[in-house]
């Protein structure tokens, strides 16, 4: 993949200076908790986007998408939101360096890889963090990883119009091989927990339903959570987010909450508890208990937070019907995307056969089944 992308770079721009590998991420558990100051449990994976770059002397940012075969350029002094959607994820990153007072020289960049888009594996975060890492290297700016994570999150807010939490960018940047990250999305304290899959595998199944987080539903969920916080703050002004709320507290004030608002809040509180239980299970190498938290998470996302869809629900039900499947849930913001499944290795064949036999995408095709490994976060690689 790197060789192919480098060949395209040489065809368009000449010789490159650096290559950055920026992985996708999975979130094992802890969905929609990040923007509520809660806990998440993501990990970087071995599918990635690669950035091959070099500074130029033409005072332009010249960008080429290997996978889409599309080109975009802009003068360095005329940065603005583009009508080309993929370019905005990158332009937004450049803007953050400029806002921080850095003079970013024109550069050429060809990016692409094997990371699927739009199925909940944070392809957008991989774009943002990968380019932020590359700019930091080329400019020798000396920013720490956390600074680059912050730049990447702000780029998505300002140029992609998605008010995302920080989990995706953080996980993509800070992943470690065979470890998951428990991230406190308020303090950004984090700890690593072992995920040594001796007898298990992680398998994603793409529902074929493409999702888009720049739609209204994502922001509506944030507003509903904020509405719950506003009611509860009347009784405790120290409450800043759902992180500060207990299940007992919302049950006491249930009648004062709109039914939807109550359900959204209850889901978030229960999901935070599931993250804690999941980490405890991993520390004891208890994948059975871990898988139960995954199943329970999907039920909450389906019935309380209402961000699943019939296709994702069907895939989870099919997974439950296979012996050796320890856990299954929808992954990502919802409304499409993929499921993540924790499966005993001996059951992989039966799982794939069951899915292929009983599930078809809207186009009548068999779903894309993706086996993944937990891998290193964004880093330099040899061209």
Tens-digit pLDDT profile for residues 2-15: 999 999 999 999 99
Residue pair 139/97 in contact (Cβ under 8 Å)? The answer is: yes
Nearest to 153 by CA among 223, 215, 79, 92: 92
What would the DSSP string read from start to end of 72-92? Answer: EEEETT-----SSHHHHHHHH
What is the biggest distance separating any 2 CA atoms in the chain, rounded to whole angstroms?
66
**Residue 218: which pLDDT band, with cuts at 50, 70 and 90?**
confident
pLDDT number for residue 211? 67
- Measuring CA to CA, how many Å separate 245 from each of 29, 242, 379? 20, 5, 38
pLDDT number for residue 212? 56
pLDDT number for residue 199? 95
Q: Is the pLDDT of residue 335 over 90?
A: no
pLDDT number for residue 291? 98
Q: Which two tokens stand for residue 177?
A: 């091989």
User: What's the CA gap between 275 and 352, in Å, rounded?
Assistant: 28
Average pLDDT over residues 42-67: 97
- Among 32-36, 106-110, 127-131, name the one with the lowest average pLDDT: 32-36
pTM assigned to the model: 0.89
Average pLDDT over residues 270-284: 98
Is domain 2-196+376-381 given the CATH code 3.30.230.10 in the classification? yes
pLDDT number for residue 122? 85
In the chain, where the domains are located: 2-196+376-381
Average pLDDT over residues 253-258: 96
- Report CA Rg, the chain: 21
Q: Which two tokens stand for residue 279?
A: 């980490």
- Measuring CA to CA, how many Å separate 88 from each of 53, 63, 111, 139, 217? 18, 11, 14, 21, 21
Catalytic pick among 34, 108, 168, 296: 168
Helix residue spans in the chain (DSSP H): 2-12, 85-99, 123-139, 145-155, 167-174, 216-233, 247-252, 259-283, 287-303, 310-320, 348-358
pLDDT number for residue 165? 72
Residue 114 designated active-site: no
Q: What is the mean pLDDT of the chain?
A: 94
Residue 276: φ, ψ to 5° = -60, -45
The residues near 223 (Cβ < 8 Å, ≥ 6 apart) are: none
pLDDT number for residue 76? 97
Q: Is the pLDDT of residue 176 over 80?
A: yes
């Amino acid at each position: 993949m790197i060789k192919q992308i480098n060949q395209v770079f040489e065809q368009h721009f000449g010789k490159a200076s650096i290559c950055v590998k920026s992985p996708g991420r999975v979130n094992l558990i802890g969905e929609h908790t990040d923007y509520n100051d809660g806990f998440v449990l993501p990990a970087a994976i071995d599918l990635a986007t690669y950035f091959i770059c070099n500074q130029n002397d033409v005072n332009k940012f010249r960008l080429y998408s290997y996978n889409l075969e599309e080109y975009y350029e802009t003068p360095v002094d005329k940065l603005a939101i583009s009508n080309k959607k993929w370019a905005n994820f990158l332009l937004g990153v450049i803007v953050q360096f400029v806002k921080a007072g850095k003079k970013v020289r024109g550069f050429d960049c060809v990016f692409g890889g094997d990371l699927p888009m739009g199925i909940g594996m944070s392809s957008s975060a991989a774009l943002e963090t990968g380019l932020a890492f590359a700019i930091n290297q080329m400019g020798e700016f000396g920013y720490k990883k956390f600074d680059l994570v912050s730049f990447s999150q702000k780029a998505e807010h300002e140029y992609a119009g998605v008010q995302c939490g920080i989990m995706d960018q953080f996980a993509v940047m800070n992943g470690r091989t065979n470890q998951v990250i428990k991230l406190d999305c308020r303090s950004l304290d984090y700890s690593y927990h072992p995920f040594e899959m001796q007898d298990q595998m992680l398998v994603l199944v793409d529902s074929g339903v493409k999702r888009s987080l720049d739609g209204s539903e994502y922001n509506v969920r944030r507003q509903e959570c904020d509405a719950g916080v506003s009611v509860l703050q009347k009784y405790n002004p120290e409450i800043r987010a759902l992180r500060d709320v207990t299940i007992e507290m919302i049950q006491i004030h249930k009648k004062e909450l709109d039914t939807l608002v109550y359900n959204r809040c209850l889901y978030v509180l229960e999901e935070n508890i599931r993250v804690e239980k999941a980490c405890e299970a991993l520390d004891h190498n208890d994948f059975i208990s871990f898988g139960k938290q995954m199943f329970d998470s999907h039920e909450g996302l389906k019935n309380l937070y209402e961000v699943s869809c019939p296709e994702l629900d069907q895939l989870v039900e099919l997974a439950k019907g296979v012996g050796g499947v320890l856990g299954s849930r929808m992954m990502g913001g919802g409304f499409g995307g993929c499921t993540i499944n924790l499966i005993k290795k001996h059951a992989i064949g039966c799982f794939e056969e069951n899915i292929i036999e009983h599930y078809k995408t809207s186009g009548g095709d068999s779903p894309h089944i993706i086996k993944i490994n937990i891998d290193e976060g964004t880093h330099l690689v040899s061209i």
